[in-house]
Amino acid sequence: MTKAKKKITVPSEVRRRVEALRSEIDRHRHAYHVLDSPVISDQAYDALVAELSELERRYPSLRRPDSPTEKVGAAPREGFVKVRHKYRQWSFDNVFDEEEFRAWAERLRRRAAKIGLSDFVPEYVCELKIDGLKVILRYERGRFKQAATRGDGRVGEDITANIAAVETIPKTLKKPADLIVVGEVWISKREFERINAQRRRAGEPLFANPRNTAAGSLRQLDPTVTAGRKLEAFFYEINEVVLPAGESRPQTQAATLRLLSALGLPVNTHWKLARTEEEVENFYRFWTDKHTGEAYQVDGVVIKLNRIDWQKALGWTAKAPRFAVAWKFPAEQATTVVEDIVLQLGRTGALTPVAHLRPVKIAGTVVSRASLHNKDEIARLDLRVGDTVIIEKAGDIIPDIVKVLPDLRPPGAKPFDFRRAAEKVCPGGIAREDVGGGKGVIYYCRDKNGYEVVREKLTYFASKKGLDIAGLSRCTIAKLMDASLIDDPADIFFLTEENLLSLEGFKEKAARNLLEAVRAAAAAPLEKFLTALGIRHIGEETALAVAAYLSEKFFSGFESFSPRDLVVAGELSLDDWSRIEGVGDKAARALREWFTAAENIRLLERFDEAGVRLFPLRSRSDTSLRGKTVVITGTFDAYTREELKEKIRSLGGKVSSTVGAKTDFLLVGRKPGGKLAKARSLGLKIIPEEEVEDFLSGE
């Protein structure tokens, strides 16, 4: 007797979420496909669709034939003559990582076995996924007759006159073939910028991206507008072909691309026949790093089964071919849900709001937090716990929330009460400072000696950016503070094995290891010591500049010196500090205040009493990067990020986390993210991983 399947109960909040997602996705589909005026990025849209698909998979009873997950494109736009396609037009299913690609390939094998393809050993054709407008062209005896958009897959818009105005699409083929061919019309990034500059001068709305510029240019009721824009195309699929006598229809996708090229149609040359999944993955990885250098936008790789008879045997789902898939490049944007907003206390007592997110993959990594910068940013976004948001990760830093999708907001979501949350973190009250420069107001704990502030200062002092004391974690620091064993950074160097063994959970080996790390940190480079002190506005780069100045002015003849000797820095005027290259007005005031404060002079004396020794920054024999700003992106096989930073600084260079007009070099490793595209757009010097060693050796 067959056991009945257990019915899955669908929670009411899931039903509400699914309906809200369908409504939101349909709204964005209309804006994208019909109005050519997207409200959100393709990547954010893909993320919404992926969430809906997953919910429909998990709760099959929620599936509907009119769901956006079952639709292709959108209905034709009013004003155009409608064209019913002779062959159904499809979109591709997406995969986003190696695991999903392998799962797709495995599904192919299982289905091939199920339908009896006993000799199934797949080869794949990998093609760049051009981000343009899909078009279907018909030729009769080699002459162009008709063109249409994809529309909803069954009915499209007649754009024959507009395609006739595109010079790069041949109106006569090199052979008298009857042909229905599918391709992508695109516009170059340079032409996109030219058109938008023209529209800006005319006071017209700007296009969002090259894809929508191409779509908007083709879907004009006046073909002369199309003719005035430099549209181009690549063709990649044959729906139907009748060739001159003696010539047969291609039997593989690779042969299809060669035939299209032989007929005189433009074909993207960056395709590859891959005989294994590993070769597909290598192609994908190569173009993940290189695609931003092309003249057109590319958002992934399309992978197709090479043999056309196997394509037909494997067939299609309701909206996509089973034999092909689009492997999207790592997204710089994604959508997720804000699960909480918490205030993070920094080394200087500053409060930074951080959004805790439902984990989501972005730019190749899973993230669960996003920076909110300050109270003003929360108000600007009108962000609430439970909101669906678009997050963006630019390079290697923590992502930002760029947009809230209010139509997906759950009922009863309340504005974030910043002051109440701040008072929980800072029992002694909060103070505010307008930092200027458009950065808004920063809030601080008023009590600089409060427990939470001291704990964060000590944690930073022992961190990798500070003196890198292995084993001295935030948790251990809290235990030491609770036991009244440490109260300031100098106390760390007075710790004994007996002190540590008195802490709950501390064994002899852990105690000895920590004390060994403390002893090693007691011999500190001046720049690391200055960074570790956590002086406001003094980060790693500024600390390096200050260390160079102090070393040359006061300690040039010293092998090492005592922290007590740094009291001489209290003699420097505000003007003296300001004259140090890389020290701004706020940093100069902070340094002046710190080195003249009585409690800090006493702290330096206690470091001396604990046996701490400092080493001046030696003048560099090689200053090949002096005055140059270097940005690092991606991961490197031969270096850690800290090793690269240290080497760049040793050559006199400055390391920055953001690409801008003042950047001189970008070092590029694997999975570089958005910094590479920005550097190329600015025409900056790019150093690939294989050239980094020569670059750092001055060659």
Q: What b/e sequence results for 325-347 when a residue is b if at least 16 CB atoms lie within 10 Å of its CB, and e otherwise?
A: bbbbbbbbbbbbbbeebebebbb
CA 256/CA 616 separation, integer angstroms: 68
CA 463/CA 250 separation, integer angstroms: 63
Q: What b/e sequence results for 155-188 when a residue is b if at least 16 CB atoms lie within 10 Å of its CB, and e otherwise?
A: bbbbbbebbebbeebbeebebebbbbbbbbbbbb
- Assess contact for 398 and 371: CB atoms under 8 A: yes
* Token reading at 99: 């695991």
Number of Cβ atoms within 10 Å of the Cβ of 290: 12
* Cα end-to-end distance, the chain, whole Å: 78
The Cα angle at residue 69 between residues 312 and 157, in degrees rounded to 5: 75
Strands 430-434 and 441-445 turn out to be antiparallel
Label residue 139 left, alpha or beta by phi (over 0 means left) and psi (-120 to 50 means alpha): beta
- Assess contact for 148 and 185: CB atoms under 8 A: no
- Assess contact for 160 and 226: CB atoms under 8 A: no
* Token reading at 683: 């025409």
The residue ranges of DSSP E strands in 324-397, in sequence order, are 324-328, 333-345, 350-362, 365-371, 388-392
- Assess contact for 39 and 33: CB atoms under 8 A: no
Query: Is 509 tagged catalytic?
Result: no
Q: Which residues pair with 355 in a beta bridge?
A: 341, 370
Distances (CA, A) of 468 to 459, 473, 486, 520, 547: 10, 10, 17, 10, 18
- Of the CA atoms within 13 Å of residue 537, those in its CB half-sphere come to 16
Q: Which residues pair with 525 in a beta bridge?
A: 615
3-state SS assignment for residue 125: strand
* Catalytic-role residue among 129, 393, 647, 654: 129
* Token reading at 386: 């439970």
Please report the DSSP string for 30-72 in residue order.
IIIIISS--SS-HHHHHHHHHHHHHHHHH-GGG--TTSGGG--
- Assess contact for 417 and 385: CB atoms under 8 A: no
- Assess contact for 508 and 518: CB atoms under 8 A: no
DSSP symbol at 109: H
Comparing CA positions, the residue from 685, 594, 694 lying closest to residue 638 is 694
CA 584/CA 82 separation, integer angstroms: 64
* Token reading at 154: 């069954």
CA 389/CA 47 separation, integer angstroms: 11
CA 360/CA 368 separation, integer angstroms: 7
CA 100/CA 103 separation, integer angstroms: 5
CA 316/CA 329 separation, integer angstroms: 24
Question: Which amino acid type is present at position 118?
Answer: S
Q: Which residue numbers are catalytic?
A: 129
